[in-house]
Every structure is written in C-alpha cells, then in structure tokens.
Amino acid sequence: MSALPPASPRAQRQVLILAHKLLSERGEANSLALARELLGKIARLPPDALAQLFERLAQDFNPDPQAVLAAAQAYAATPNARALLQLTRVSEPPRQELFRRLNRAPGATGLLVRLRRSLLGGLSSHPEWRCVEADLLHLFSSWFNPGFLQMRQVDWNSPAQLLEQIIRHEAVHEIDGWDDLRRRLQPDRRLFAFFHPQLPEEPLIFVEVALLPDMPAGIAPLIDKASATMEPSKFKVAVFYSISNCEPGLRGVSLGNFLIKRVAEHLQREIPRLKTFCTLSPIPGLLAWLRTEPALEAFAPLLKKPQLERLRAARELLRQACGGEWARLSQLQPLAALDGEAQAALQRLCAAYLLACTALPDGDPVARFHLDNGARLERINWMGNRAPKGLQQSCGMMVNYLYDLAKIEGHHEAFTQGEIAYSRAVAALL
C-alpha cells in the first residue's frame, strides 16, 4: 500500500459514502455488491488515507448515546428479555455490523486482518482508534475461533510458497535457510500449521515438534541442522520446541487454545509408543523482571515464610555475583562463571517468577500460553539456550512444560482461577 499515491479527498469520501450505504442496505444481493465495491476501494487506499478512515470509523460509527441511555433506563426499570435485547441492539457500535457486511465479500477476511495490522501499528499515537480495535478484536475472536482452524502437516513436499512463509515467520528459533528447514522436516521432526477456511493459503500459527527418547534440557541439539536423524524405534517423547504466530493482524486473538492437544493426539495416533508430550520453552520476561528488582513482599501470600526468606537471600546472592549489574546475566562468560550457589539462586528466582507472576495479566507470555493450554510446569533447565536471544531474555534458562493429555482440561480450568500446576522438582527449587 505504501507505493500508492496519496488518496484524493474524493476517493476518501466515496469510501465513507459506500460504508454508510452498505449499513443502510436491506437487500442481500445489493449488500453483497456494495461490499465488493467498498472492499476494492479500501484495498487501494494508501497509509495516509487509511489513517483518515480509522479516524472516521472511530468518530462516525458509534452508538447513539441517547438511545443507549433510554434503553439502559428501560432495562433498569423492567429487566426482562425484551428490554435487554433492545439495550444490546442499540449499544452495539454500527462499526461491527459494517465489518460483518463487508466480510461477506470474497477476500474481505484477509483485508480486515491487514486493516487491523495497520491500525495496531498506529494505535500508540492514536488512542482514539481503540474503539475500532476493540470491535475488530471482538469479531475476530469469533471468526477465528480455534474450532474453525484446520490443521495440516507441513513437509518437504509442501508448496514452496508455504515453506517460504514458515522460514519467514519462525519467531522462536530462526530458520537459517533451506538446509535448516529441510532438517526440521526430517522423519524425526514434525511441523503442523493451522489455517482458516477464509485464508486457505496463509498459515496463522504453526508448531514444530522433535521426536526424541528423553525430555530435552537444551535447544541446541534440536535445531542443529547437521545432526543425524534418529531411528523411529527411539521415539518416546514429543517435544514442542517452537510455536510461531504468522499474522500480526491477529495479535490478541486466541488461536492456540488446546492447539498442542490436537497435535499431541494426532501424533499419538500415528506413533502409539509416544507417552510423553512436553515443550522446551523460552522465558522471555525473566531478565527484564530481574532487572526491575521487584518487591518480593508481593509474593508473601503465595509463599511460606521460609521460602520467601530463601528467595530474598537468592536475589542478594545473585546481585552480588553480578556486581549489581543484572545485564551481565545476559552474557555467556559471566553466566558460565557463576558458582553452584549462584546457579541455584538463579533457578530459584526463575521458579518464583513463573509461579508467582504468570497468573498476572503481565506475566511471562510463553508461560501464560502453555499453562492456559493445560500444561504443567515440569522442569527448569540451566543454560538451556546459549543463543544471544536466549541469553538476553532469560539468562539462558529454558523450561519444560508437560502436557498430560488426561489432565489438560483440569489444569486449564485451574489456571483460569489463578492456580498453576507444577511438579515436585519445581517445588523443590523454592
């Protein structure tokens, strides 16, 4: 879109006129024709005109305040179904119905996702657009319900365009070209992508799996493109080592609910000898949390007094070990120089961070994803990721989350109530 010339005021007016006309149209055939025409005009808008469109959507397509007030008062006076339905009808922003009608046109779903991507990019400097963003998020949460997503296995024979997208969108462990991708698609690896029926050629999210004899403690052997392929007879553990979202326009839309369970069940049918399903996951928020030197008193309701004292002692020991410069814990040499007590202190703080902070809205995003999907915090691995990104985010630490297929729903329900499932090994760190 950036290569397009600035939109004329006439073109912008035409978009708004068509939007109002589409909302007022009653006939299905005419509505579809208008949606197609409007879709084409929006697709040709350059960034400056998109910004103007977002402004108008935020200002001109809101509920009528007087109608909402009257309906709310009527419902308060007579809280019956009729009054509630009327309140619901008049309080819904007309933007939502506009987006619904526009979505009837072929190709509209992809366009709306791209529109939201652009909108999110300008949201920080245009807070008034948040009402438009809220409406799109509300609609996308229904349209991209995980139940609609189709799972496909990706292999070396998949279309080149799809393989290129996998390389481009890998967000956890960068794929270093075609040889690297080929290794990740060998018989002891699996890659599954999820698609929406309206975007059949665009993966929304994909998960990479390694088939191993044991639960791994480090990522390097899993992504070594020169490693030998393992014999199928040794497959006992399925390790989910990378999950990547492909579409920024769907940020905040929950695509992953029980995604791993679907993959695990598929693998269990394919390879019945697989008994253990786990992850090897980063902890992207750990070092940033350590550098804030958070008040550990906030953990008091969650930890017993001796645990809290050990946590304070661990932080002080680690602070002294890095000379008060927490950033040194993002460097390989200072980390390798830590003695056993300092290593144990870092693991203890990591366990506390994951157990006490993950249930909070700003908790570690990877931990929130897996625990909300029904996993159990199983093991914390010292120096599991020596790559620069792993060091800078989590002092090289990595986590195994265990997916017990019989307990996923229970763990998920518990997490929604603020409870985290964790192993005895993690408990012992505290």
Catalytic annotation, residues: 281, 370
How many angstroms separate the CA atoms of 128 and 265, rounded?
A: 44
**229 Ramachandran zone, left/alpha/beta (phi>0; psi -120 to 50):** beta
3-state SS, one letter per residue, for 6-54: CCCHHHHHHHHHHHHHHHHCCCHHHHHHHHHHHHHHHHCCCHHHHHHHH
Q: What are phi and psi of 302, to 5 degrees?
A: -100, -25
Nearest partner of 115 among 43, 171, 164, 12, judged by Cα? 43
> Residues of 237-260 as b/e, b for ≥16 C-beta within 10 angstroms?
bbbbbbbbbbbebbeebebbbbbb
How many angstroms separate the CA atoms of 214 and 212, rounded?
A: 6
- What is the sign of the dihedral through the CA atoms of 106, 110, 111 and 112? positive
DSSP 255-283: --TTHHHHHHHHHHHH-TT--EEEE-B--
Q: 3-state DSSP call for residue 253?
A: coil
Q: 3-state DSSP call for residue 328?
A: helix
Place of tokens 């120089």: 337
CB contact at 8 A, 11 and 52: no
Pairs from 181-189 (Cβ < 8 Å, separation ≥ 24):
182/156, 182/225, 183/224, 183/225, 183/226, 183/227, 184/208, 184/223, 185/154, 185/155, 185/156, 186/229, 187/229, 187/232, 188/212, 188/229, 188/230, 188/232, 188/235
How many angstroms separate the CA atoms of 164 and 177, rounded?
A: 9
Strand partners, 375: none
